[in-house]
């Protein structure tokens, strides 16, 4: 009995202040990280008078009609953003996979030079090529079109994607591809049935990063698109007050911010496991 009570007391006093301090500190810091998001959510269901009366605390009744009003205005811009994201990501991933597979699985003259040239592109800040890209798009007649968004933004992310995928494809066992060749499989068939399925976590990570980049892009759409009706959601947010016909409604504006950020949150929620696997698979170093 004495030994049992001693063990119970030892369990009760197992945690010291030094052991409890790190989790307590991390909990506080984690809460502070979410404070802006919490504030945004609770401000999005308030009227202007409720904000004046109680800025920091929840108020009742909650004005969920703010979301209805913001959604009516933001819907066309959200559709534009989805179009830009899907088109850019499709073009970018398609050509990155083909280029990375060739660099990772084949030997040909100039391969190392080409790879180093692609690696060197990552050293050039994108802002330095902004004017050049704009001039090229205008001369090709692609301004104010979807292709004017898709192609330059896809090209801007190609270097990173090719390097990541090339590293992964080069690490795959050669025996898998030898077995495919013995079975009479073509190179495109092996790419689709061997390389791409094994690279799903890496591809998911790259797709999420690409979607986030395109969705939040601010400078390029405002340069290329002349018609404000074709603006993405990130620019539509800036026009919320103007599109509300000059009626000040900060609650609806905050609701518009929530609506604009919701697709990225849902994307990460449904792809988080594959995203983390891609980050820790060895092809991407952070």
Please say whether the dihedral angle defined by the alpha carbons of residues 139, 144, 145 and 150, taken in this order, is positive or negative: positive
Whether 52 contacts 237, CB under 8 Å: no
Calculate the average pLDDT of the chain: 82
Residues 6+ apart with CB under 8 A from 59: 46, 50, 53
Please say whether the dihedral angle defined by the alpha carbons of residues 150, 152, 155 and 157, taken in this order, is positive or negative: negative
Higher-pLDDT residue of 85, 39: 85
- pLDDT of 246 reads 62
Whether 39 contacts 258, CB under 8 Å: no
- pLDDT of 286 reads 41
Q: Which residue ranges form the domains of the chain, and what is each CATH number?
A: 69-280 (1.10.3720.10)
pLDDT tens digits, one per residue of 137-187: 999 888 888 898 999 998 888 888 898 888 888 888 888 888 888 878 788
CA distance 84 to 11: 57
Is the pLDDT at 21 greater than 60? The verdict is yes
């Amino acid at each position: 009995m004495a030994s049992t009570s001693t063990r119970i007391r030892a369990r009760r006093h197992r945690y010291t202040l030094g052991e409890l301090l790190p989790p307590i500190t991390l909990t506080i810091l984690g809460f502070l990280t979410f404070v802006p998001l919490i504030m945004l959510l609770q401000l999005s269901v308030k009227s202007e008078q409720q904000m004046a009366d109680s800025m920091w605390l929840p108020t009742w009744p909650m004005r969920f009609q703010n979301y209805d009003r913001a959604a009516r205005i933001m819907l066309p811009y959200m559709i534009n953003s989805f179009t830009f994201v899907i088109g850019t990501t499709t073009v970018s991933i398609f050509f990155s996979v083909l280029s990375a597979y060739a660099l990772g699985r084949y030997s040909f003259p100039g391969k190392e030079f080409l790879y180093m040239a692609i690696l060197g592109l990552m050293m050039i800040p994108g802002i330095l090529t902004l004017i050049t890209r704009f001039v090229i798009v205008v001369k090709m007649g692609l301004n104010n079109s979807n292709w004017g968004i898709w192609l330059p933004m896809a090209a801007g992310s190609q270097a990173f994607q090719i390097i990541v995928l090339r590293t992964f494809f080069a690490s795959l066992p050669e025996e898998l591809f030898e077995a495919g060749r013995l079975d009479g499989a073509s190179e495109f068939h092996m790419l689709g049935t061997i390389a791409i399925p094994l690279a799903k976590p890496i591809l998911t990570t790259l797709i999420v990063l690409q979607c986030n980049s395109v969705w939040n892009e601010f400078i390029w759409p405002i340069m290329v698109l002349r018609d404000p009706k074709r603006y993405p959601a990130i620019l539509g947010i800036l026009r919320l007050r103007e599109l509300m016909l000059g009626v000040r409604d900060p609650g609806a504006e905050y609701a518009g911010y929530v609506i604009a950020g919701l697709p990225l949150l849902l994307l990460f929620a449904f792809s988080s496991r594959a995203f983390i696997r891609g980050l820790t698979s060895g092809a991407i170093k952070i």
